[in-house]
Structure 1
Amino acid sequence: MQITFLGATETVTGSKFLLTHHGKKILVDCGLFQGYKALRLRNWDKFPVDPAQIDAVILTHAHIDHTGYLPLLVKNGFSGKIHCTHGTKDLCAILLPDSGHIQEEDAKRANKYGYSKHHPALPLYTENEGRQALKQFLPHDFATEYRLFDDLSFRFHHAGHIIGASIVEIKYNSKTLCFTGDLGRPHDHVMNPPDVIHKADYLVIESTYGGRLHDRTDPLKQLEDIIQQTVKRGGSVIIPSFAVGRAQSLLYYIDQLKKADRIPDLPVFLDSPMAINATNLLCHYTNEHRLTKEQCKDLCNVAEYIVTPEQSKSIDQYKVPVIIISASGMATGGRILHHLKLFLRDPRSTILFAGFQAGGTRGDRLLRGETEIKIHGEMIPVRAHIELLTSLSAHADYQEILAWLKKFERPPQKTFIVHGEPESSKNLKRKIEEQLKWSCYLPKYRHVETL
């Protein structure tokens, strides 16, 4: 067995791991790079392996940095099955066409206003190509072993994080290779904790928050304070949010605050068609989260759903404070950009980030204090308050990762640390080596390891 690290090395995004075993090629995850331009340009490079030679894809979960390259892989010749959980397939049916649509819209706008260096600007793939990729999905149940080839099988374990998220366990030659994907938190208010894994010969583990401890402040209290302070100034709260996972958690917290009269009964808008669909899916997968059916129903009703572009434009015209939740979560694209163009200029309002911001994204640059930001080719002055909800992450921090790892019955032969900015990965490596005495490695982009 060989593993080639084609993404998520020295960065959080672009998750892709190519396994080669007895002439077969399996790709674990197939995500887009996001953030710095040098990373995003990798999305346009020729894929390191001919997609037609890949036999199968296995997905950990649906987020675009783990799945967003699939339409291009299919477009360029991959014809095998894409294996995932049922929840991941349902979420990808929302996310992949939307990803193509956003890229088409961005290209169209760049051509219209002439702010791209490319003439004409083209999308990486289209909405229709996003739909085409869905035809190759083959969903499976959790906790059931599936034979992929004669001498290789896999099984999905619950990872928490979002609906459908899985830890992928691959068995071959009496060996076990485990991918955590994005590991959820043990005490998340919404999602169930990740399953315990007792042993693996080789482990590929994420380190998004490998260098940090999450704020233990009650997220309800933190969100309450930010909303109350913003409303007192007469401003609105604009929340760039990941459509899957984060948007649903935010709606849950806002509903709880409203019920307890801890915030004013101001209008709440969910301006993201894919977040709307993902919210409805939450009620279908009740075995994967902690919410009751009644709580799911209340969560779905706390916001007004915004579907059309015309509706989206109209909510910016409200004369009273509002809460707008809109994708994308790192402000890299989507409808949130139109809201930011208006509300970033308003010193009364708050732009509230609710999740990890990859280096180089607009979200990262705003949190670092940049005083103007480019959106659609225009420099927008930053006068609004910029806040980060530090206690709402869906990723385990280093203490939570270590607690999960301590349940292993014996150390893996090798542990590969991925999905993190360099300092986060280095910190997690140091913590694991100090506390558990495991052998840990920080793979480079395109590094090949024989297991």
Structure 2
Amino acid sequence: MSYRIRFLGAADTVTGSRYVVDSGDSRVLVDCGLFQGYKVLRERNRATLGVPPESIDAVVLTHAHLDHSGYLPALVRDGFSGPVYATPGTSDLARVMLADSAHLLEEEAQHAARGHWSVHREPTPLYSTEDVARAIRQFRAVEFGHRITAAPGIEAAFVHAGHILGAAQVRLTVDGGVIHFTGDLGREDDPLMRPPAPLEACSVLVTESTYGDRAHPDDDPERELGEVIRRVVKRGGVVMIPAFAVGRTETVLLHLSRLRDRDEIPDIPIYLNSPMAVDVAGIYERYPDEHRLDASELERMYSIATRVRTVDDSKLLNLRGGPMVLISASGMITGGRILHHLQAYGPDPRNAVVLTGFQAGGTRGAALLTGARSLRIFGEDVPIRAEVVSIESMSAHADADGIMTWLRAAPAAPAATFVTHGEPAASDALRARIKRELGWRVRVPEHGETVDLGTGTPAVRDHEREGAHHV
């Protein structure tokens, strides 16, 4: 039994998830994500992938978030012509999210060209809407639990991961061995999504570690959100909630609808200013078995907010003033309409910015979280005097304790475990807990590293250029 895995993303950061599994005869890419955050990471999106795109037989996606799917249009443009396997929910969401991503990339390039704030004379988007259209044609929907031949000698199956609609753990069977990828693992107590399926026996485990060095606060996110809104409304301010258009937006709307039902927040306007989030609304109705809400609660959740689509209506919100609640992408303030709202309302101390999830290093959200009082937006430094509140307990990721509880229930220890998809401190903290508490063979791989799997020998540390690692 011999096969290899190469870590081309999410190996020293929480973004850019990309893993190449090579059987010798076939090559499958698990996830095809964008790098986000620090510039040194974002520049990897412009670099070559690490393997020729045309040499990849298939892509298998864990879920639709852009740090797992957002590089697909570039991969297709550069020569990948095989199928993209994903669950039906992920396939539906990816169509919306990738189109929105291309639109924002094109818009950003236009802004940069007009404002002359790019270092490039003629800034170009990473990929275009035409590239997205080509990529979408290569999607093949696969139901949870179904086992398919992703490439000759490599079988794939999807297992529920919670986290967001369509999110899956991926199990690849290669030459008799099973490589299990957690994708982004959801929470047992998530108010929206059902919990992740238990870990089944596997030869190799690749686990995320987004919250690998911390536990979610015990605070009630609904109560925290209500307190912020009541406080800001009293001073006539605007509550800005940067939220991922898929998953987090639905959770925020759910909490707001429950607060409104109990008369715990004032009856002020709530605006959902994210065309992508508006497009996603109907998708949740198609997959009732994946989430906890019935049809009536879904309807109440979406009816609480006025949906904003057009650019003109979005601009009018920046003139309206408070009190009101604005929900807009992106969740880490890396792009989207939230940037325009921050330009308009960020300098006013009556207003508030509510961060509702993980903020990757190098993003504007992370900067606010660590006390930054100025943000670079569209080539200008915008002062931020608005109150900044973090409701970390709203995260859709399992925390360190949640991951450890999930791992402990495994029927047997994998021969090797690799900890990925986390900032370095988080990944190493989870590695240490797995080794100390479970006694498993575990380590954190390096970016670009290739590991030769299946030989049964201990993992060693050297780069591919010095010879493949062995596990």
Same fold (TM over 0.5): yes
User: For 2:308, which of 306, 324, 330 is the aligned residue?
Assistant: 306
CA contact (8 A) 2:358 2:392 kept: no
Where in structure 2 are the equivalents of 1:15-414 lying within 5 Å? 15-414=17-416
Counterparts in 2 of 1:407-446, with a 5 A limit?
407-446=409-448
What is the CA–CA distance in structure 2 between the aligned matches of 1:198 and 1:126, rounded to whole Å? Answer: 40
Can you give the 5+ residue segments of structure 1 that lack an aligned partner in the other structure?
Answer: none
**The 10-residue stretch of structure 1 (339-348 or 126-135) with the greater mean CA deviation from structure 2:** 126-135
Q: Secondary structure at the match of 1:432?
A: helix
8 Å CA contact 2:192–2:291 kept in 1: the answer is: yes
- Displacement after TM superposition at 1:150 (Å): 4.5
**Percent sequence identity over matched residues?**
44
CA separation in 1, counterparts of 2:343 and 2:321? 17
2:468 equivalent in structure 1 = none
**What's the CA shift for 1:318?**
2.1
Alpha-carbon distance in 1 for matches of 2:151, 2:82: 13
**Counterpart code for 1:285:** Y
Distance 2:402 2:322 in 1: 41
> 2: CA distance between counterparts of 1:418 and 1:296?
34
User: Which amino acid in 1 is paired with 2:441?
Assistant: S
Q: Distance in 2 between matches of 1:326 and 1:131?
A: 25
Relative to structure 1, is the Cα distance of residues 103 and 149 closer, same or farther in structure 2, using a 3 angstrom cutoff?
closer
Task: Deviation per CA, 1:264-302: give whole Å up to 9, x if none.
Answer: 011001101111111221121111000011001111111
Residue type at the aligned position of 2:317: I
Q: For residue 121 of structure 1, report the CA deviation from its aligned partner.
A: 0.5
- Corresponding residue SS for 1:104: helix
Deviations 1:117-176 (A, max 9, x none): 101011011122112210000010001111234432111000000000000011122211
**2:423 aligned partner, one-letter code:** E
Q: Does residue 9 of the first structure (1) align with residue 8 of the second (2)?
A: no
For 2:215, give the aligned amino acid. Answer: L
Provide the C-alpha distance between the structure 1 equivalents of 2:118 and 2:152, rounded to a whole number of angstroms: 49
Q: Is contact 2:8-2:49 (8 Å) kept?
A: no
Return 5+ residue gaps in structure 2 as ranges.
454-471
Paired residues of 1:243 and 1:272 also in contact (CA < 8 A): yes
TM-score by length of 2: 0.95
Q: CA RMSD in A?
A: 0.9
Amino acid at match of 1:449: V
- Cα offset, 1:198, TM superposition: 2.3
Q: CA deviation at 1:69?
A: 0.5
The alpha carbon displacement at 1:431 in A equals 1.0
C-alpha distance in 2 between matches for 1:35 and 1:113 = 22
Aligned pair count?
451
